[in-house]
Structure 1
Amino acid sequence: MYVIAALGVLDLVVFKNSVLNWVAHFFLLGAIGIAYVLPELRFFRNTVIAVLPFAIVSFLTDVVGLIHTPFFQKIEDYFEIIQICTVAWMIAMLIGVNKQRKALEKERQKREIEEEQNRFIAARRAELETMVAARTSELLTQKEELEHALMELRETQVQLIQKEKMASLGELTAGIAHEIQNPLNFVNNFSEVNKELLDEMEHEVDKGNMAEVKEIMKDIKENEIKISQHGKRADAIVKGMLQHSRLSSGKKEPTDINALADEYLRLSYHGLRAKDKSFNATFKTDFDESIKEIEVIPQDIGRVLLNLINNAFYSVNEKKKAWSQTPNTDRYDPIVYVATKRLDGKVQICVKDNGMGIPQKVLDKIYQPFFTTKPAGQGTGLGLSLSYEILKAHGGELRVETREGEFAQFIMELPFASVDKV
């Protein structure tokens, strides 16, 4: 482009009216032709268009001046005007071409920057995809590890639950023995009485005193009924113990909730008495007789009752020990109170004690697994957590009312579905 423009200037100014002027013409026209024809120089075609009018007019001016000088002298002024116009055209076009070139250069640079950015983005994307693939693989590995850990945790949870049940069963052993001993004593006593009555009846038969024989037979029959009742009582206690030790079937069945609460209250009390001979407490009951049987999983609800009652007896016993070590003029009577009540659409079971109460600072933590306020070795911290989950699974709830140093009352609520409605 600059060569063509330089040739135009030389043609116009330096070589005017000389042999070199014609050389400049041919070089200029040749350069224009080459720039227009060659594909690799197509970028300069706008420059060619800018210079071409000047080159043609300049060439024609010299040709006309050479062929017919008088005629040329007449129209020379017109040719000069045309040349000036072509020069103006050339300058305007060259300025436009230069602007266009700069714009194209700017566009090219912009495109190169975009291509560089695209290459960077592609490289970054490939790097990120590699990182994502590695992270995905790592997450999958962690997922497998977590699933394995979760499986182990569930297995451990089952083992801990069973351990908790067996631990509570161990606490019940003495109470169960005491509860079984009472009906067995009745069975043994009435058996001895019946043995004596049979000897007496045999003697009366020999004497022919049938009226007395009938009276003795009536007494024997009544004793047999009592033996059967107490035998069934012992059988029920053993079955309850076996139910407590077995895994829950998850099946609800008709259950006398009052009898269940009373049974576990007595078993807990006698179990603690057997472990600690100095332990003593008063327990009271207030059962709503209108409840009768409801549909629950008895071994699960029994486990909840046992845990709450054991905690109540533990609390009053700890308060009694603390009370005995401080100078108090007032007398402290440890009392555990168990009551049932039928409400609208639900049954409420309350276990209340006048023991240590629960500090406010730990009140929000008592249902957390493994949280316990008992000394090491005296509690797993699973009792209240399992109790809460059991009641939740029954569609019920467990809440507590307490005042530190005065009392604690755990309130169980179960949906009321009596057997006659099921």
Structure 2
Amino acid sequence: MRVLGDVLLGRRTAQLFFTHSSCEMSALYNFDLLVAGPLCMLIVLVLRRFFDLAERLPRWNRVLSWVWAPALFGFGITAVFRYRNPLLDDAYMLGVYALVVVTLLLLWSYRPARLVLLALAPLLLHRLIKFGLDLGDLRLLAPYASIFTSLGKFTTLWLIGLVLVARSQKRNLAKEQQQRQEEEQARQLIATQNAELERLVAERSATLTQQAATLQQALEELQMTQSQLIQAEKMASLGELTAGIAHEIQNPLNFVNNFAEVSAELLEELAEEQTKPAPDTELELELLADLTQNLQKITQHGQRAASIVRGMLEHSRASTGERSLTDLNALCDEYLRLAYHGLRAKDKSFNATLHTDFAPVLPLVEAVSQDVGRVLLNLFTNAFYAVRQRQQAGEAGYAPSVGVRTRRVGDEVEVSVQDNGTGIAEAVRQKIFQPFFTTKPAGEGTGLGLSLAHDIITQGHGGSLTVTSQEGQGAKFTVRLPI
């Protein structure tokens, strides 16, 4: 206890705190430097380790490592020459304190160093005052001496308290530094990962760009092929339509030719009758009546042929997309017969029963008649194809039949095309409106007819196109258009 007090407060102050005989004090003088030296080295060692001087101030750390040399020198002088000076240990302690202060000033940017310097300042000031008093052999008055002694105790407690605070502060700074290091490592790791991700993204982008170019080329080729197939489908439809129109227009032309020949024969008979001396008036009237009737028939069938030609021109004209009020009954009847005669033009042996059930009062619908006509022609053509396939299968007692029905259903007009052909399997019905899907043999279908028909009705007119079928029994396509 006496040693610690002598180190922190000085020998003279320790004499005020402790009571010893003159013999004891005289003996103590011989060992002041022997005790102060190790204590100072201990203080310096703690200081060096506490502030990590080997890393922060390596050169100054080597200087502090020689703090034992003055103590050893002073102890040698005292031991050899028997020179006893009570102020020698105080001077040595003050020198060590000065080194500590210099060290703390060099570490001024380090917060715990500033705190320790603040903690050491009162104690160092007290020791300097005490050393000055001892050096001048001065004594304070009794009341002031007691206060001075109490201040020495306070400076010791102040030093201990702030050193503990500095220790806690150092730990917190170490934690913060470790946390910053971890954050820096995390940032470096993230930066490395970002660089790797950027590299991978660049590689992936290059791959995707190449794939996109390949897909674009494939898409262009597909579009070209699609255009060719659509053109082939149009040409096939046009061929069927042309054949149907040729067969259809041949009937009125035959009537016109036949009635014209008969009319010519009637005119010859009328001329012969008029050359007779006594012409038969009743026969002349009868011939004139027959001739008038024939001319009416010629006019009627001529108008029918003109109507067919007019419809052909309208159908062949490119669709303008302009809608107009359309009579679906007339449109269905016209294209049903065109499709039927078109198939008969290719196969004279084919015959089918046509059933029509048109609503007597069917509202007109606003539609593009050419486009709706193409849809109906495609549905009728498929229906005749289905019944023809079943007929060629040689089924006993089978009679081909195709029917069309129109009616109003709420705010829509419905057109149903039904046949008793081969029917459509469930697996086929799910894909029947897909582009390029067809059940016809190669060369007979492109798989675009129903796909285009579905787009015309659903996308072009806001309606619907559905199918119901029983395999081996027939199929029914239903078109609904809003009124």
**Above 0.5 in TM-score?**
yes
Structure 1 pair 406–260 and aligned structure 2 pair: CA distance change class (3 A) = same
1:357 aligns with one of 419, 423, 429: 423
The answer on whether the counterparts of 2:108 and 2:114 sit within 8 Å (CA) in structure 1 is: no
The number of equivalent residue pairs is 409
Structure 1 pair 267–387 and aligned structure 2 pair: CA distance change class (3 A) = same
Matched, 1:403 2:474: no
Offset at residue 18 of structure 1 (A): 4.1
The separation in 2 between residues aligned to 1:253 and 1:78, in whole angstroms, is 118
The answer on whether the counterparts of 2:244 and 2:340 sit within 8 Å (CA) in structure 1 is: yes
1:305 aligns with one of 341, 352, 376: 376
Identify the range of structure 1 (387-396 vs 70-79) with the bigger mean alpha-carbon deviation. 70-79
- Structure ranking higher on relative contact order (CA contacts 8 Å, 6+ apart): 1
Identify the range of structure 1 (69-78 vs 49-58) with the bigger mean alpha-carbon deviation. 69-78
2:443 aligns with one of 359, 362, 377: 377
The separation in 2 between residues aligned to 1:228 and 1:198, in whole angstroms, is 18
Matched, 1:331 2:400: no
| Residue aligning to 1:236 | 307
Identify the range of structure 1 (28-37 vs 389-398) with the bigger mean alpha-carbon deviation. 28-37
The answer on whether the counterparts of 1:165 and 1:245 sit within 8 Å (CA) in structure 2 is: no
The answer on whether the counterparts of 2:252 and 2:302 sit within 8 Å (CA) in structure 1 is: yes
Offset at residue 130 of structure 1 (A): 7.6
The separation in 1 between residues aligned to 2:201 and 2:391, in whole angstroms, is 64
Identify the range of structure 1 (384-393 vs 254-263) with the bigger mean alpha-carbon deviation. 254-263
Q: Report the TM-score when normalising by structure 1.
A: 0.79
| Residue aligning to 1:315 | 386
Taking only aligned residues, the RMSD between alpha carbons, in angstroms, comes to 4.1
| Residue aligning to 1:183 | 252
Offset at residue 46 of structure 1 (A): 1.9
Matched, 1:195 2:264: yes
- 1:43-62, aligned counterparts within 5 Å? 44-62=113-131
Structure 1 pair 29–371 and aligned structure 2 pair: CA distance change class (3 A) = same
The answer on whether the counterparts of 1:169 and 1:241 sit within 8 Å (CA) in structure 2 is: no
The answer on whether the counterparts of 1:166 and 1:245 sit within 8 Å (CA) in structure 2 is: no
1:24-54 Cα deviation digits (max 9, x unpaired): 3245247536845996678633222211222
Offset at residue 279 of structure 1 (A): 3.1
Query: What one-letter code is carried by the residue in structure 2 that aligns with 1:167?
Result: A
Structure 1 pair 158–232 and aligned structure 2 pair: CA distance change class (3 A) = farther
The separation in 1 between residues aligned to 2:325 and 2:296, in whole angstroms, is 26
The separation in 1 between residues aligned to 2:116 and 2:233, in whole angstroms, is 98
The separation in 1 between residues aligned to 2:97 and 2:363, in whole angstroms, is 122
The separation in 2 between residues aligned to 1:256 and 1:40, in whole angstroms, is 98
| Residue aligning to 2:452 | 386
Matched, 1:96 2:180: no
Identify the range of structure 1 (288-297 vs 144-153) with the bigger mean alpha-carbon deviation. 144-153
Offset at residue 338 of structure 1 (A): 1.9
Identity of aligned residues (%): 46
| Residue aligning to 1:414 | 481
Offset at residue 394 of structure 1 (A): 2.2
The answer on whether the counterparts of 2:244 and 2:341 sit within 8 Å (CA) in structure 1 is: yes
- 1:110-259, aligned counterparts within 5 Å? 110-118=179-187, 121=190, 157-206=226-275, 216-259=287-330
| Residue aligning to 1:420 | none
Offset at residue 189 of structure 1 (A): 0.9
The answer on whether the counterparts of 2:87 and 2:134 sit within 8 Å (CA) in structure 1 is: no
Offset at residue 123 of structure 1 (A): 6.5
Structure 1 pair 200–293 and aligned structure 2 pair: CA distance change class (3 A) = farther
The answer on whether the counterparts of 2:133 and 2:139 sit within 8 Å (CA) in structure 1 is: no
1:256-313 Cα deviation digits (max 9, x unpaired): 4333322322332233233334433322222233238654323222222222222222
Query: What one-letter code is carried by the residue in structure 2 that aligns with 1:386?
Result: L
Tell me, what secondary structure is at the counterpart of 1:365?
coil
Tell me, what secondary structure is at the counterpart of 2:430?
helix
Matched, 1:289 2:360: yes
1:119-151 Cα deviation digits (max 9, x unpaired): 555666677678778877887887788778767
Offset at residue 186 of structure 1 (A): 0.8
Structure 1 pair 240–146 and aligned structure 2 pair: CA distance change class (3 A) = farther
Offset at residue 170 of structure 1 (A): 1.9
Structure 1 pair 53–254 and aligned structure 2 pair: CA distance change class (3 A) = closer
| Residue aligning to 1:327 | none
The answer on whether the counterparts of 1:399 and 1:412 sit within 8 Å (CA) in structure 2 is: yes
The answer on whether the counterparts of 1:4 and 1:31 sit within 8 Å (CA) in structure 2 is: no
The separation in 2 between residues aligned to 1:403 and 1:155, in whole angstroms, is 36
The answer on whether the counterparts of 1:65 and 1:72 sit within 8 Å (CA) in structure 2 is: no
The separation in 2 between residues aligned to 1:229 and 1:300, in whole angstroms, is 29
Offset at residue 336 of structure 1 (A): 1.5
Tell me, what secondary structure is at the counterpart of 1:250?
coil
The separation in 2 between residues aligned to 1:42 and 1:335, in whole angstroms, is 104
* Unaligned ranges ≥5, structure 1: 325-329, 417-422
* Unaligned ranges ≥5, structure 2: 1-41, 48-63, 76-84
Offset at residue 164 of structure 1 (A): 1.6
Tell me, what secondary structure is at the counterpart of 2:171?
helix
The separation in 2 between residues aligned to 1:253 and 1:300, in whole angstroms, is 12
Query: What one-letter code is carried by the residue in structure 2 that aligns with 1:391?
Result: I
Identify the range of structure 1 (199-208 vs 397-406) with the bigger mean alpha-carbon deviation. 199-208
The separation in 1 between residues aligned to 2:402 and 2:139, in whole angstroms, is 144
The separation in 1 between residues aligned to 2:200 and 2:376, in whole angstroms, is 55
| Residue aligning to 2:91 | 22
Query: What one-letter code is carried by the residue in structure 2 that aligns with 1:408?
Result: A
Tell me, what secondary structure is at the counterpart of 1:350?
strand
Query: What one-letter code is carried by the residue in structure 2 that aligns with 1:276?
Result: D
| Residue aligning to 2:333 | 262
- Higher CA-based Rg: 2
Query: What one-letter code is carried by the residue in structure 1 that aligns with 2:477?
Result: F
Structure 1 pair 158–255 and aligned structure 2 pair: CA distance change class (3 A) = farther
Query: What one-letter code is carried by the residue in structure 2 that aligns with 1:317?
Result: R
1:56-85 Cα deviation digits (max 9, x unpaired): 222322332343467689987765554343
Offset at residue 108 of structure 1 (A): 3.2
| Residue aligning to 1:419 | none
Query: What one-letter code is carried by the residue in structure 2 that aligns with 1:28?
Result: Y
Matched, 1:106 2:188: no
Structure 1 pair 217–116 and aligned structure 2 pair: CA distance change class (3 A) = same
